[in-house]
Amino acid sequence: MNRLASVAAVFGILLITISPARAAPIYTIADFSGGVSTVTGLGNSLGFQQTSTCNGCAAGSVGGQVLFDKSLIPASGTGIVNIALASITGVSNHDIFNIVLGSKPLGFEFGDINVTGSPSIQFMDGVFNGFSLVEGFIVNEKIYEFSMKGSAWTISWLKNNSSSDLVASGYVMIGDAGLINQATLIPSLPELPATVVPEPATFSLFGIGLLGIVMTRRRMAWR
C-alpha cells in the first residue's frame, strides 16, 4: 500500500509541475487578384480604367495579400461566414491584409485608422468568397468610401451626408483558385503561445520532491 502511495505521489508531482503543451497557430499567407468593372469621370482621375479595355495596364489592375488561420475556415454547407482579421504579434499589418487598386495607385491595409467595423475574410460553404471591409479616405479634399462585400468592391464619392456618387467598382477572384501562391507563415516564436517547456527551477523542485519520497521509503524499510 505504501509503495502504491509513493508511485501516486510521484505522478502527482509530475502532473502539477509540468504544464501541458499548447500548439502555436500556423498561418497561411496568400495572394489574390481582381479587376475593374465600372469607371466614372472621377474614377479616371483616381487612376482607374476598366480591366476589359485596359489590356493588362496598371489602371485596370487589382491585387493584394491576406494572412489567415486555415483551422478557422468553416465547413461546407455553413453558408456565408465572415472571419475577422486580427493583429498578430510579429507580423506587419501590411502582411495581414492589403489591397492595391489602379495606377495611382490606391492602397488599403489592415490597421488603417478610417476602417469602419472589423475587416474580415469571407467564406461561403468553406470556400473563399472575398472580404468584408469599409474604409473612408480623402483625395484632393474630396471624401471617398471604399467598400468590399464578398467578391465585389466599390469606391463612392460622399458628396454630403445624404448622397454619394459611384466612382469605380470591381471584383476579386473567389473560389478555390481565388487565393493563390499560398504559403505557411509562422510568426516570431518568442511572442507566440508556443509549446510550454518547464523551467530548470521546475525540474529542481520535482527532483527534490522525488528525493524526499525515496528517503522516506528507505527510512520505513530500515525500521
Same domain, 210 and 145: no
> pLDDT value at position 11?
47
Beta carbons within 8 Å of 30's beta carbon, 6+ residues apart: 65, 66, 68, 179, 180, 181, 182, 183
What is the domain extent for residue 140? 27-190
Q: Kindly state whether residues 95 and 170 are assigned to the same domain.
A: yes
> Each residue of 131-153: pLDDT tens digit?
999 999 999 999 999 999 999 99
Q: Which three cell numbers stand for residue 195?
A: 509549446
Number of structural domains found in the chain: 2
- State the DSSP code for 138: E
Question: Do the beta carbons of residue 15 and residue 202 sit within 8 Å?
Answer: no
Residues 127, 208, single domain; the answer is: no
**Residue 193: predicted pLDDT:** 47
pLDDT in tens, 48-103: 999 999 989 999 999 999 999 999 999 999 999 999 999 998 899 999 999 999 99
Instruction: Please tell me whether residues 209 and 179 are part of one structural domain.
Output: no
Mean pLDDT (whole number) for 213-218? 53
Contact 13, 204 (CB under 8 A): no
Residues 136 and 40 in one domain: yes
Residue 6: pLDDT above 70? no
Confidence of residue 4 (pLDDT cuts 50, 70, 90): very low
d(CA 14, CA 71): 31
In the predicted structure, residue 31 carries a pLDDT above the cut 90: yes
Say yes or no: 148 and 44 in one domain: yes
Classify 95 as helix, strand or coil. Answer: helix
Task: For Cα atoms 3, 13, 213, give the angle at the middle one, nearest 5 degrees.
Answer: 40
Per-residue confidence at 191, pLDDT binned at 50, 70, 90?
very low
- What is residue 57's predicted lDDT score, i.e. its pLDDT? 96
Mean pLDDT of the chain: 83
Whether residues 180 and 203 share a domain: the answer is no
* Inside any domain, residue 83: yes
